[in-house]
């Protein structure tokens, strides 16, 4: 019985690690198939290109797919593309039955392909005491500037999102004084894996030593 539970835990852990990568590869495969149907070797475009150049360019569909993704990335950074992206976000997040799936896939994509800029929702991984002293919860800092909340609490706070395990689609948002959080020397991906696996997938950065923990505690006591 214990062996079966161990095998099941390993299976769930592997599934949680593979799922974001699998979803990304699946979306890319669907996009490739679409591009292939439009400009592949058997299409009208390919025949036109053959008449124009004398031959078809092998792998053209891959080049076009890469350029389209590149273009979408570029447009998302300029004003028009950013506004259009927000419009799509609002639309999909307002459709019942679709918004949870859309939000989940978006978070998974950010977890796998996240960029080190301000648009990354999860900035760093921290610990803080909750629900009582001596018990610690792992969370993700989502905003370093909490505006008027600092004025209302009289302390400099940060917003921290704490997802539930194993379902990160629900969780809590805490506004915590900066002096009461402990910074961890781990990536956001490692933090997500730790939570999604229910603590089974323990990051190597924490296994090797406690420097980050001690540093965070010294910062807290200061």
Higher pLDDT, 150 or 122: 150
Closest CA to 118 of 88, 89, 144, 140: 144
C-alpha–C-alpha distance, residues 93 and 107, integer Å = 13
Give the pLDDT of residue 153.
92
For tokens 């991906």, what's the residue? 189
Instruction: Give the span between the Cα atoms of 113 and 116, in whole angstroms.
Output: 10
Q: Identify the band that residue 119 occupies on the pLDDT scale cut at 50, 70 and 90.
A: very low
Question: 153: domain range?
Answer: 124-221
Residue with tokens 């689609």: 169
From CA 210, how far away is CA 184, in angstroms rounded?
A: 9
Asked if the model's pLDDT at residue 214 lies above 80, the reply is: no
Q: Is the distance from CB of 196 to CB of 16 less than 8 angstroms? A: yes
Percent of the chain with pLDDT over 90: 16
Whether 213 has a pLDDT exceeding 90, the answer reads no
User: Are 77 and 143 found together in one domain?
Assistant: no
Whether the CB-CB separation of 205 and 185 falls below 8 Å is answered with: yes
Q: Are residues 83 and 129 in the same domain?
A: no
Q: Domain count of the chain? A: 2
What does the pLDDT read at residue 17? Answer: 62
Same domain, 48 and 100: yes
Please provide the size of the chain in residues: 222
Residue 31 to residue 35: CA distance in whole angstroms: 6
Same domain? 142 vs 217: yes
- Of 113, 142, 162, the residue that ends a domain is 113
pLDDT band at 200 (very low <50, low <70, confident <90, very high): confident
Is the model's pTM score more than 0.85? no
Whether 149 and 206 map to the same domain: the answer is yes
Q: Which of 81, 113, 145 is the last residue of a domain?
A: 113
Place of tokens 């909340």: 149
Higher pLDDT, 47 or 108: 47
- Domain shared by 102 and 169, yes or no: no
The pLDDT, as a whole number, for residue 13 is: 65
> What pLDDT does residue 167 have?
58
CATH code for the domain in which residue 129 is found = 2.30.30
Residue 118, domain member (yes or no): no
């Amino acid at each position: 019985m214990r062996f079966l539970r161990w095998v099941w835990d390993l299976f769930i852990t592997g599934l949680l690690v593979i799922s974001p990568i699998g979803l990304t590869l699946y979306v890319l495969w669907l996009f490739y198939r679409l591009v292939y149907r439009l400009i592949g070797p058997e299409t009208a475009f390919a025949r036109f290109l053959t008449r124009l150049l004398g031959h078809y360019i092998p792998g053209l569909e891959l080049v076009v797919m890469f350029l389209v993704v590149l273009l979408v990335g570029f447009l998302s950074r300029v004003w028009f593309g950013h506004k259009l992206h927000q419009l799509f976000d609002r639309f999909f997040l307002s459709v019942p039955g679709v918004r949870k799936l859309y939000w989940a896939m978006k978070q998974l994509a950010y977890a796998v392909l996240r960029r080190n800029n301000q648009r990354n929702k999860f900035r760093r991984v921290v610990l803080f005491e909750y629900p009582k002293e001596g018990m610690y919860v792992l969370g993700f800092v989502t905003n370093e500037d909490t505006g008027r909340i600092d004025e209302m609490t009289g302390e400099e706070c940060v917003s921290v999102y704490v997802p539930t395990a194993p379902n990160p689609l629900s969780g809590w948002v805490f506004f915590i004084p900066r002096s009461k959080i402990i910074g961890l020397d781990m990536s956001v991906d490692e933090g997500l894996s730790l939570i999604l696996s229910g603590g089974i997938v323990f990051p190597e950065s924490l296994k090797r030593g406690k420097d980050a923990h001690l540093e965070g505690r010294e910062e807290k006591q200061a």
